[in-house]
Amino acid sequence: MELTGRRTEVDRITTLAVLPRESALVVVGDPGSGRTSVLDAASGRVSLPVVRIGVNGSESRWPLSGVTTLFSALDDHRAAAHVSRILGTVRDADPAQAIVVAHELLDTLRTLQLPPTLVLIDDLDRMDAASQTLIAFLAGRLAGTSLRVVATVAHVPSDGPLAALPSMRLAPLPADEALLLARATAADDANDGVLAVIAEQTAGNPGALREQLGMLRREQLLGSEPLVLPLRPTPTTDRVVASVVAAVAGRDLDVLARLALVPVTKLAGPEWDRDVVEDLAALGLVEVRGQSIAVRSPLVRSYLHWRMPARDRRAAHAELAAAAVTHDPRAVAWHRSFTDDEPDAVALLHAARAYATDGHPGAAVTLAERALHVGGRSESEHLALLAVAEVLLAHRLLGYAARYLAAIQPFRSRLDDVRRLRLHYSVQYLNGEAVEADELLVPADATDTAEAEAVTGLLAMVASFRAEAWELEHARDLLQRAEPFAATVPDGTRQILQAARHTVAAVDGSLPPDRDLHDGLATTTLLALSDPTLLLLAHALSLSDRHRSARRVFALVLARAAHTAPVWVEAARYLSAENEVRSGNFRLALRAIDAWESGSSVVERLREPSRAIAIAWRHFLEGRPQASLEVLDRCLALRSTSGLWGATAKLHAFRGRVLLFEGRPAEAAAALETADAIGRTLRNPTVLRHLGDLVETYVQLGRTEDARAMTARLAADHRAHPSRWGALVLARSLALVADDGTRDAARHRALELFEPTDSQFERARTLTALAATGTGPDRARLGAAAAAAYEAAGLRRPLAAPQGVAAMPPAVGGALRLAPSTTAPSPTTPRSAPDGTAVLTMLTAEEQAVVQKVTEGYRNREIATSLYMSQRTVELRLTQIYRKVGARSRSHLVALLG
């Protein structure tokens, strides 16, 4: 099985092998943390020969057996002979002679001049003590030899021989990587919410996670039966926790064991000794948040909970329930579920909802599972469970919300069932699944005001989802069915309904101008709107290429994040990042993507297309195209036939763009044609933005007629749905497919069309595409201008490009990467300045383009004309250049460049 996570740890080992700044590394990890898997992954990623040594613990009673094993594994008869001779003379000697043995072994290694080799020793701490000491001595002194040693251990005593060596600890897997491991380990039909619970309850320990999955019944794995929490300890759990608990005794251990009986409790009660709690917190065994306390590690809680005999547990639950009755009703509901003859499942679920609201999702899940275990599945219990799932969704915990939603049956009350459907459709949409909403075919009761309001809001929500899936006719049908209630519903519902109309109009390319939206998008009017309304409005503006207006509306939502449900805050962060990507301002886009990722409380789900596309964009912008393709391919592999086709088309379209820019036009054409086939019914070219890429791909492949046919289609779609982006890309496409008689005019038009506020990325693409089809001085001039535009857009790339080559960043340069021009240099061809290399490396690509013109004697106005920038911009660039290189004047700058 492929290693999940641990990329940083594996990279450090491979770096040690390839660029050895250290001669040895000790990998420290708890039982089950994956020490062996890390070595396996590292051994497959290095080019050096690898020697693997697995320690046989039964040999630990044989002195120096480990050293013998090490030298024998080097597969050099000289090494084996030397070590046999040395150890044969000292095996029974005084231990004080160990230092003599160590130096002789080191001299042996240096004398033999073995080939470069990476030695991986698994479980070094299970070797005999003498071998551990000698190997630690050797490992720290391998400089001058070609050997590098990496060893794994469970712990490193501070006074032991390994303490002086560089070490790396395997921390528990983050929640997202633990969930990915659970998905990779479990059956394909396992419930994702159940897997999320197992990932959280095993504290990021891969070994414990695999063991727990193996202990579950199939019905539990599918989510049809509740889990028993805390989970029963596995052998790995016992080994991890035993050493931790061994350090606690007496009163401290008693308090810790009683704390393990409750997920979270209040510190205010007399049942808890505050001094002991502080001591346990100092040891890292309990977590104190305000007045709430809990055992920090689920593994420790599992171990202590199940170690206590059942009779003692029940008695302790009764005692703790009585003590908490005045100050902690949530803990009381939990404890009484173990002591009452007929546990109150509804009280448990109310407590679970309170825990989820207060930011304790783990406790909420524990109580919800207990309620499912002891309850009778009544409608009142289902209503209480629905309330829990709603709060979990508001905190963007989709797996948990979906897990409990599946346990809820349709309600007899239409109002309650609308709540269930709203949650159901929201989870489907946020998971990237198609929202069919067949249940909405049943008409609402127009005489019931509350029902009409609830159904209208639901219709508007699903209409927005359908519009996002490009199913505009379905969306309009839903909005039409909501119209009879529009005049009678409250303002909040009416706002949502209007925002849904705007979303449909934006996808269709017919959104009214800003002046006709909410009093010209007046701030006071916008502040009166709900968060979902603002998000729909901002997204509609973004789809309509009004990126500045969208940026302002998103900012209003984020400004009141402290009072906004996390699900809306995360949506605002993602959609804001998408807006910046669409605008072509990649510096802002990277900041927005980073803010979204760092502020997200949800585990990473690469099967969600929105998250996958954002992560892929970040890799792409930072110059890691292969990583971008891996993310997209992984997400596409996880897509099912029930997925949103619009999201699938976006994945294929972006994949095609990356392949195009990587110089793989045949593969790019296949991806872009797939996106085109999926999105063929969508006639607004601004939404998917793939037609311009298809034209460019066909031109590179020599498919001129296909390129012209696609350009004609783009022109027709643009006439029906005009946009600024469409105008720019259409002009570029026309220039690429123009014949000899119209080519110069078309090229001039494509460049002349750009204004200062337009996307620098699209400007750079146009310049590069035209440079690729240009010749001589025009080609070099356009390439230099493209370099400046890419710099302005914020893409990561080299500072300079070879002479005559359009300066594309490595992440996007392959598509139009050119061979050096064979045209003879002319007076207008930029020349390199080989003697000024050190100076040039201090400058950005845009500044280098300016410098090139200065060395050729161009004046500022001429530089501005040739590089397609204003004269003021040239003056500013020169000021920056003078400051960077220490030049006093134009002539001094030329002199510095040689």
- Whether the pLDDT of residue 234 is over 60: the answer is yes
pLDDT in tens, 596-607: 877 654 444 444
Strand, coil or helix: 153: strand
Q: Is the pLDDT of residue 728 over 80?
A: yes
* Interatomic CA distance for residues 231 and 223, integer angstroms: 15
Please count the residues of the chain: 898
Cβ-Cβ contacts under 8 Å for 282 (sequence gap 6 or more): none
- Helix and strand numbers (H, E) in the chain are 46, 8
Where residue 844 falls among pLDDT bands split at 50, 70, 90?
A: confident
pLDDT of residue 806: 36
Cβ proximity of 882 and 888 under 8 Å: yes
Task: Report the amino acid identity of residue 359.
Answer: G
For residue 799, count other CB atoms closer than 10 A to its CB: 16
pLDDT at 803: 34
Please state, in angstroms and rounded to a whole number, the distance separating the CA atoms of residues 322 and 304.
Answer: 21
Cα–Cα distance measured from residue 370 to residue 349, given in angstroms and rounded to the nearest whole number: 9
Q: Among 481, 521, 523, which residue's Cα sits nearest to residue 502?
A: 521
Report which DSSP code applies to 54.
E
Percent of the chain at pLDDT > 90 equals 51
User: Could you give the CA distance from residue 821 to residue 734 in angstroms, rounded to a whole number?
Assistant: 24
Inter-helix orientation angle 724-737/743-752, to 10°: 160
Distance CA 361, CA 395 (A): 9
Q: Which of 599, 598, 504, 506 is nearest to 547 (CA)?
A: 506
Is pLDDT at 835 greater than 50 in this prediction? no
Q: What is the mean pLDDT of the chain?
A: 85
Question: What is the pLDDT confidence band of residue 825, given thresholds at 50, 70 and 90?
Answer: very low
Residues 6+ apart with CB under 8 A from 180: 4, 5, 604, 606
Q: How confident is the model at residue 852 (pLDDT cuts 50, 70, 90)?
A: confident
Burial environment of residue 464 by CB neighbours within 10 A (0 to 12, 13 to 18, 19 or more): buried
> What number of other Cβ atoms are within 10 A of residue 793's Cβ?
22
Q: What is the pLDDT of residues 238-275, one digit of tens each?
A: 999 988 888 888 889 999 999 999 999 998 877 788 89
> What's the whole-number mean pLDDT along residues 134-155?
85
Cα 357 to Cα 217: distance, rounded to the nearest angstrom: 31
Asked whether the beta carbons of 801 and 779 are under 8 A apart, the reply is: no
| Three state DSSP letters for 648-688 | HHHHHHHHHHHHHHCCCHHHHHHHHHHHHHHCCCCCCHHHH
- CA distances from residue 235 to 60, 215, 448, 741 in whole angstroms, order as listed: 23, 12, 59, 79
What pLDDT sits at residue 89? 58
At 449, the amino acid letter reads: T
Residue 161 near residue 133, CB atoms below 8 Å: yes
- Phi/psi for 606 (5° steps) reads -70, -10
546-557 average pLDDT score: 95
Q: Judge whether 649 and 691 are in contact, CB under 8 Å.
A: no
Rounded Cα distance between 466 and 644, Å, is 9
Give which of 534, 482, 466, 543 is closest to 511, Cα–Cα.
Answer: 543
- Look up residue 283 and give its two tokens: 């040891």
Q: What percent of the chain has pLDDT over 70?
A: 88
HSE (side-chain half, CA atoms, 13 Å) at 139? 27
Q: How far apart are CA 783 and CA 42, in angstroms?
A: 41
Owner of token pair 């480990």 = 66
Residue 801 has pLDDT above 70, yes or no: no
Cα(333)–Cα(353) distance, integer angstroms: 12
Task: Report d(CA 112, CA 66) in Å as an integer.
Answer: 20
Whether the per-residue pLDDT at 823 is higher than 50: the answer is no
What 3-state DSSP class applies to 24? strand
Q: Is it the case that residue 49 has pLDDT exceeding 60?
A: yes
Residue 86: its pLDDT value, please? 64
pLDDT for 87 equals 63
Q: Which of 189, 584, 571 is nearest to 393 (CA)?
A: 571
**Which CA distances in Å does 703 have to 39, 630, 696, 737?**
49, 28, 10, 10
Write down the H helix ranges in 406-515: 414-430, 449-468, 472-482, 491-508
- Closest of 456, 545, 444 to residue 493, by C-alpha: 456
Q: What are phi and psi of 167, to 5 degrees?
A: -135, 160
For the cut 80, the answer to whether the pLDDT of residue 576 exceeds it is: yes
Structure tokens at 458: 């639901």
The alpha carbon dihedral of 589, 592, 597, 598 has a sign of positive
